[in-house]
Amino acid sequence: MLQFKLHAGAYQSTSKALAMALVLLLSACASKVTHRAPVEDRNSNSARSSANPSPQDTAKSMAGSENAGKPGYYTVKPGDTLLRIALESGQGHRDIARWNALENPNKIEVGQVLRVVAPVGEEAVVAKPVASSKVTSTPLQSQTQSAAKTEPAPAAAAAPAVVPEPQAKLGEDEVSFAWPAKGTVVGAFDESKNRKGVDIGGAAGDPVLAAAEGKVVYAGAGLRGYGNLIILKHNNTYLTAYAHNQSLLVKEDQTVKKGQKIAEMGNSDADSVKLHFEVRKLGKPVDPAQYLPAR
């Protein structure tokens, strides 16, 4: 009997030891699971990197980035607006929006590459009036008379063939400009001081005239520093700009004639009543005094 009790006691001690060992083993496993790196940390790091991509990643993902630096394309910089890009490239802002299929022309992104020249095959030149030449038409002669006549017609009698001017020569177009207002020049062009045109003084309401025939590519007050502004496109080479007006009398896409009243002089976004007049050749400001007739 005593021997049985001893065996029972030893069995109980062994069971307790095994139970304690099992508890320690489970605790060790639980401790390892608790200290494992959570998965969401890796996900959050990935989310942070995608929310703040590097400039290199942005340039790679930006539509049209393959054209960056190519002639006829412009990479958007901080502070740019589509209107200013259009003025600096000598184009209409609506044309640039169409060429680039911009859903919202008021929303462009830094690094975005925009086409700023017309695609091949698109005629972007403002049509200029052609001097009409009277061509006399004569009835066709009978087949007998035509067959009997063997001598060729004189060269003077043949109507000259109308050949479209090649796109490469459009930049050579010249325009005959007239003064856009009657006042005196109160501010001269000075490229070194960033004076991109001439200022012509006058009184509020004085007429502002189109310096040459052209198409209105902008009429509004969306360009800072210019107030109520009109931009005319004369051909693929020349634009003219008329700023600080009191009122605008033309709308975008309207064709105007040389000397037509397009606005009234004012002081919008200016310290005095004046017309700020610019001539831009291929988008670059040039001295209007070199293109206007002497007074």
pLDDT per residue over 275-284, tens digit each? 999 999 999 9
pLDDT at residue 22, as a whole number: 58
pLDDT grade for 221, boundaries at 50, 70 and 90: very high
Greater confidence (86 vs 46) lies with 86
- What's the pLDDT tens digit per position in 56-86? 455 445 667 788 888 889 999 999 999 999 9
List of residues 6+ apart from 47 with CB closer than 8 A: none
- Asked if 128 and 213 count as a contact pair (C-beta separation under 8 A), the reply is yes
Average pLDDT over residues 151-175: 48
Tell me the H-state helices in the chain. Answer: 2-34, 39-51, 55-61, 82-89, 93-99, 143-148
**Radius of gyration of the chain measured on its C-alpha atoms:** 39
Looking at residue 15, its amino acid is S
User: Quick check: do 53-115 and 185-290 share a fold?
Assistant: no
| N- to C-terminal Cα separation, the chain | 140
Q: Max Cα separation, the chain?
A: 154
List the chain domain ranges: 53-115, 185-290
168 by Cβ neighbours in 10 Å (0-12 / 13-18 / 19+) ranks as: exposed
- Per CATH, the architecture of 185-290 is what? Distorted Sandwich (2.70)
Indicate the helix (H) or strand (E) that contains 78.
Answer: none
Mean pLDDT value across the chain: 76
Interior/surface letters 109-143, b for 16+ CB within 10 angstroms, e for the rest:
eebbbbbbbbeeeeebbbeeeeeeeeeeeeeeeee
Is 0.75 topped by the overall pTM?
no
Please write down the long-range contacts of 83-86, taking CB distance under 8 Å and 24 or more positions apart.
83/218, 83/222, 83/223, 84/223, 85/114, 85/116, 86/116, 86/217, 86/218
- What CATH class is the domain 53-115? alpha beta
pLDDT at residue 246, as a whole number: 98
